Amino acid sequence: MRLVVLGDLHFFQLGVWPWQLFSKRLLGQCNLWFHRRRHFQPSLWPRIAARVEELAPDVLLGSGDFTTTALPGEFAQAREAWEGLVRTAAPRLGAYVVPGNHDRYTYQAHRRRLFEDALAPWTATSWPARWSLGEGVTVLGLDPTRPNPFNASGVLGEQQLDCLAKALATLPQSECVLVLCHYPIGTPPDLPEEAEGHGLQDKEALTRVLAESGRAIVYLHGHIHWPWRWVPPNAAKVVTVNVGAPMLTSATFPLGQGIAELVIKDGGVRVHRHVMDVDGRWTVSPEE
């Protein structure tokens, strides 16, 4: 089975009505105008979509932050892009997405259920979500996002954690389990530690649930715009994969941070990272 995972697309809209700025969105739009728009390049999307189509995945996954400030126009862009990708890549086992904190950027966006409406065919109505793909593979989707006027933190809460623990306990031990969540459960030691106001507030509790399940788990996420594969020291059987931001450019990633491909075969999972080099050629880095 082949899966392609995309994260942190951050479609954006520069023009907004003044009354749409009476919220945290004012800060977000300032950041967009003076910083983010210079680095996120939506013009890369056609090449990214073409690469996904070439890979012909059985499953498409999205780890959240489809938008930048949860504007209706941004959700319209995200819906059009994702719907087109699903149509052309035609994943035979479906496409599934979880929200990111930017998709719940304001209380109004949350109340109006803009994320759920825009991405309804591919997301869940209750969490944790359980998507059985067949062939011995299950995806468990989590939603710790919430509108927050002060920071970008998320919280799963006891109920979602309890349901996750029960789901992990009831799945056959032979099942290959992927957990899809926007937030990481920690950062590798060679990177700066995530600020408290930016991370998952109950990440220790989530890590404990994953570790105490006693099973091997691939934890897929985004949020921090830097791709990695890392095993937390307190969860030796959990491999975390940060899928990166495909349209975020930098000196290290001149044409974006690429996409993650997972190949599941004979009970094992191999991760391949696809990144465009400065000449626009796709390079592939295999990882165990």
Please say whether the beta carbons of 59 and 1 come within 8 A: yes
Q: How far is it, in rounded angstroms, from Cα 234 to Cα 197?
A: 22
pLDDT of residue 16: 54
Dihedral (CA of 235, 236, 239, 242) sign: positive
pLDDT of residue 149: 77
* Paired tokens of 151: 């920071």
Give kind and range of the element (H or E) at residue 116: helix 114-118
What CATH number is attached to the domain comprising 210?
A: 3.60.21.10
**Predicted confidence pLDDT, tens digits, the chain (288 residues):** 999 999 999 997 655 545 454 566 556 556 655 567 567 899 999 999 999 999 999 999 999 999 988 899 999 999 999 999 999 999 999 999 999 999 998 888 788 899 999 999 999 999 999 999 999 999 999 999 998 877 889 999 999 999 999 999 999 999 999 999 999 999 999 999 998 889 999 999 999 999 999 999 999 999 999 999 999 999 999 999 999 999 999 999 999 999 999 999 987 999 999 999 999 999 998 765
Please say whether the beta carbons of 248 and 40 come within 8 A: yes
Domain with 26, as residue range(s), is: 2-287
Q: Omega into 128 within 30° of 0, i.e. cis?
A: yes
Looking at the structure of the chain, the number of domains it has is 1
pTM over 0.85: yes
